[in-house]
Amino acid sequence: MENWHLWLIAAGILFIAELFTPGFVLACFGVGCLVSALFALFGLGLVAEIIVFCIASFISFLAVRPLFIRYFHRPDDTKARTNVDALVGKTGLVTMKIVPAIEQGRVNVGGEDWRGVSAEDCEIEKGERIEVTKVEGTKLFVKRISQNAGG
């Protein structure tokens, strides 16, 4: 078996292994193997092939890996919010007047009844529309989004 066969086999194994690992590190080594296989095909010696492998892998780390990371990895802030974190930004209705001085008040958000606390430290009347700004335990911190004459 010739050297270029071994380089191709190593590249294939590295690309397959990359499917199971994050970070696109093994793929960069796979690119180095492919370039080395090309040079081995032209009959360079093993030392030259190893040098080509190192250079090609290094260039792949600098050039190709950042592109893959940018297009295939999403930053954490784009993850879907779940559970109570998904309530932030939702709107609802005050069902019991929110009084900051005595920490009293109830709101209905998404069909569920929650303890409401004014995020702006002001009273919010029953029937007013609110927006959730923060969730802390079983309390929703809310702010008024419109005035409503209902009571």
Q: Provide the whole-model pTM.
A: 0.48
**Among candidate residues 96, 135, 138, 95, the one with its CA nearest the CA of residue 119:** 135
Indicate the domain borders of the chain.
3-75, 83-144
d(CA 126, CA 104): 12
**pLDDT tens per residue across all 151 residues of the chain:** 888 999 999 999 999 998 898 778 898 999 999 999 999 998 888 999 999 999 999 999 898 777 877 777 665 555 555 577 788 889 999 999 999 888 889 999 988 899 999 988 899 999 999 999 998 888 899 999 865 444 4
CATH number of 83-144: 2.40.50.140
The sign one gets for the Cα dihedral 85, 86, 90, 93 is negative
